[in-house]
Chain A
Amino acid sequence: MTARAASIEHIWIVMTVGAAFMGPASTPIGIPDVLWSLLRGDWMASHGTLLDTDPFTSAPHVAGPLVNVQWLADLAFYGLDALGGLPLVITGTALAVALTYALLLYATISASGHVRLSCLAVWLVYVPAASNLSPRPQTLSYPFFALFILAVARAEWRRDTRWLWLLPPATAVWVNIHGSFFTGFLLLGCAALGRLVATRRVAPARPYLVALGACLLASLLNPYGPGALVYVATIGNNPIIRDFVTEWAPTTVSWHEGIFFFVSLVVLGALMLKSSLRLTAVEILALLAFGYLAWSAVRVIAWWSFLIAPILARLLASVLPNRALGKGRNHPVVNSLLMAGIVVVAGFSLPWTKTLVPFLPAGKQTILAEEMPIRLGEYLRSHGPPPSGNMLNTQKWGGYLEWATWPRHRVFLDGRIELHPAQVWFDYLEIVFPSTRWRTLLDKYDIQYMALATDDSPDLIADVRIDPGWRLDYEDDQAVVFSRSVLSSAGP
């Protein structure tokens, strides 16, 4: 048996998966979600139990025990952090992204039968998802969705239903990683319905229906049982999340992800009209279902981009002339050297080595993004809180500050919107606006000191600066810290 010589196709594959790895591996942590994930993982590991309350924020919480459907992701991130710090958290996430695109590429090749066009399609769909590949539980869920796409692609285009058997065990893990597991159900549902519509018979849809049923049962294998499903079904209806959280906002051209989404629609539409290929009912239903979801919320664009890769490759293969798809001459030694070169470049994208790259932009050379209030965190770590009362913080910094300063300081709010009643969020918005009630509201929540972003609430900061009841304790070009000149006796 002889090893297969490295071909140009191998270079395309290594380049595609390598590029998918390099992006997130070389990007600093900019989304704070992973930081409270690390904190929760640490808490669970040290207490040996799941979190059913929230010890990290001081704002009033909604009644009932906390549902944390991403507890396994929290522990996974914590494990990486304990082994190798934040650089390993970033590297682990980059590996998950690379695995996602490797599975997606396999699915795309299975659907189109063409390696280079599949690579091209995967590169194209990487663009809309690129801003959504940061370390956080959602990113760990991508390989599972890619596995679902692969299983459906194999069943549709290779008559290979064996991959469907992997989906129930994958669901049992996914349901404990992130609430996006329902997207797998949706894809299987589209596949089953598509087969039913196309053939008017149940038998062709049976493999998908069986897999869907098994996945539904597997999704109950979590600490909350059906509660996890209820959580996922209701989270999108939370009015604060729907109206105030940017990534849950409806997709428009105001977002660059939105522009990419609409461009992807135009490209797909143009290819469909030009191509003689007829998409299957499965593909059309999946496009409609995920297209609507992606139009409804910016954060779903990542899943949309994964979904369209195999369809895009099939359409490209049907539109481009055969000459454009032809194979070049193979030079196995050169090919091997090129692949080794790609691996070396990927090695230089790692958090430990990326600073050796002279042309890496300054904003990419750090582990934490420049927007993170690192100096503020250092100040708070070295200065204790007042003897009583709470801290008000700019909400977007909640994740970083609790990671950097808890338990010495307890933030008021972080990005976990669903933990607090709507009124708390309305009050927070009134304070940072600020409305005429900001002093009363600070008393209501017993706020004794504030850590604020200068660019988020300039009007409030201007008012507090001239208010004799407050004293400036710290200031840099990002943040200010004020504390009460005289401790307020008001309580919540």
Chain B
Amino acid sequence: MTYVVAICAVLPLLAPEVWSGFRLAMTDPVLAALSQFEQPLSVRSPGGIWAVGLALAWFALAYWRRDFGMWEPALVLIGGAAALARVGNLWVDAAALVLPLARQVGCLRLKPAVLGMVAVVCLAAAGLTLLQTQPPELPPAAVAAVRQAPSTAGNVLASWRWAGELQGRLGSGRAVLASGGPGTEPTDFWLDYLRIGQGHEHWADLLQRLDVDTLVVESEGPQLPAAALVRASPDWRVTYDVGGVLVAERAGP
């Protein structure tokens, strides 16, 4: 039962990775500007307070009872170090915390009803974290708008959240940039991606350089400036603009 409770307790740490993927890496300053999962863990990170709370809970129990094996702090330290290095590594922290937490909770000899209540609270927290970290969805109509674009020679530049999914739905007929995820493109690409999204003076030149003729941007999120520029530009024709998703195709040279 205590192992079930410990697993429930670490579930909120796994919730963000459901969306971002279970990847072990160090933080990268450019990717960190793209996604909070690529940032080092802080008080504002999704699951950050929960992660520190769990480590603190283990510590409080171990300190109070003075009964712990050396492997316990070692696991807590390894998990904590991985999470501090990058939020997307929280799954490592979750895996590392299960055994130490289970052992300390087990030593408390709590009643099954209390353990059950703790498990329910943890499951609720996991569900909440899952909902809070859910990225915006790419509607099928937006994918259809991309498919209907007449030009197929150039690349598609999509929000990094949708690039992989979009490539899967479009098939090999169209090339979606960065469809392999944040770790698959060089830093220079992501710097240009950020410049385009934030409405840099030379956004149009950057898109030319990347040979992009179709754009799929988050029009109510971090790419709001780019969406505004595309709407106002005579060189782009908006084919879909609903619910925070904008699809546009190149109309001019």
Using a CB–CB cutoff of 8 Å, the interface residues on chain A facing chain B are 249-254, 258, 262, 266, 269-270, 272-273, 292, 295-296, 433-438, 459, 463
Contacts and interface: CB of A to CB of B under 8 A. Distances in A.
B85 interface: yes
Contact of B42 (A252, A433, A438, A463): A252
Contacts of A250: 42-44
B85 A253 contact: yes
Nearest to B27: A254
B201 A435 contact: yes
Nearest to A429: B198
B236 interface: no
A252 B85 CA distance: 8
Contact of A436 (B39, B52, B84, B203): B203
A254 B200 contact: no
Given A253-B84, A295-B52, A433 B198 contact: yes
Query: Top 9 nearest A-B pairs by Cβ distance?
Result: A250-B42, A252-B40, A250-B43, A435-B199, A252-B42, A434-B201, A253-B84, A296-B43, A253-B40
Contacts of A273: 59, 62-63, 66, 68, 73
Interface string B145-180: 000000000000000000000000000000000000
B41 interface: yes
6 contacts: A253-B84, A273-B62, A435-B200, A435-B201, A437-B199, A463-B201
B118 interface: no
Residue from A252, A258, A273, A434 having most chain B Cβ neighbours under 10 A:
A252
B99 interface: no
Contacts of A253: 27, 40-41, 84-85
B229 interface: yes
Nearest to B233: A436
Residue from A250, A266, A434, A437 having most chain B Cβ neighbours under 10 A:
A250
Nearest to A276: B66
B63 A272 contact: yes
Given A434-B200, A434-B201, A463-B201, A252 B63 contact: no
A254 B29 CA distance: 9
B79 to A, nearest CB: 13
Contacts of B225: 435
Residue from A253, A270, A272 having most chain B Cβ neighbours under 10 A:
A253
A433 B85 CA distance: 28
A436 B229 contact: yes
Nearest to B77: A266
Nearest to B86: A253
A463 B41 CA distance: 37
Contacts of A463: 201
Given A250-B43, A270-B73, A459 B59 contact: no
Contact of A252 (B66, B77, B84, B229): B84
Contacts of A251: 42-43
Nearest to A437: B199
Contacts of A266: 77
A436 B201 CA distance: 4
B interface, size bucket: 20 to 34
Contacts of A434: 200-201
Contacts of A435: 198-201, 225
B134 to A, nearest CB: 22
Nearest to B229: A436
Interface string B66-92: 101000010001000000110000000
Nearest to B32: A254
A436 B230 CA distance: 12
Nearest to A296: B43
A252 B41 contact: yes
A212 B66 CA distance: 35
A258 B81 CA distance: 13
A437 B199 CA distance: 9
Given A273-B62, A295-B52, A252 B39 contact: yes
Given A253-B41, A435-B200, 5 more contacts: A252-B39, A254-B27, A262-B84, A269-B73, A438-B201
Nearest to B48: A250
Contacts of B52: 295
A184 to B, nearest CB: 23
A14 to B, nearest CB: 36
Interface in B186-203: 198-203
Contacts of A436: 199-201, 203, 229
A433 B200 contact: yes
A427 to B, nearest CB: 13
A181 B235 CA distance: 57
Nearest to B84: A253
Contacts of B200: 433-436, 459
B81 to A, nearest CB: 9
Contacts of B68: 273
A299 to B, nearest CB: 14
A271 to B, nearest CB: 11
A191 B182 CA distance: 48
B107 to A, nearest CB: 15
Contacts of B44: 250
A323 B169 CA distance: 72
B142 to A, nearest CB: 25
Residue from B39, B42, B68 having most chain A Cβ neighbours under 10 A:
B42
Contacts of B39: 252
A292 B39 CA distance: 19
A184 B198 CA distance: 42
Contacts of B27: 253-254
Interface string B53-66: 00000010011001
Contacts of A252: 39-42, 84
A438 B199 CA distance: 11
B201 A295 contact: no
Residue from A272, A435, A438, A463 having most chain B Cβ neighbours under 10 A:
A435
Contacts of A249: 42
A254 B201 CA distance: 30
A249 B42 CA distance: 9
B190 to A, nearest CB: 16
Interface in B207-228: 225
Interface string B20-48: 00000001010000000001111110000
A191 to B, nearest CB: 21
Contacts of B199: 435-437
A295 B59 CA distance: 17
B42 to A, nearest CB: 4
A240 to B, nearest CB: 16
Nearest to A434: B201
Nearest to B41: A252
Contacts of B201: 433-436, 438, 459, 463
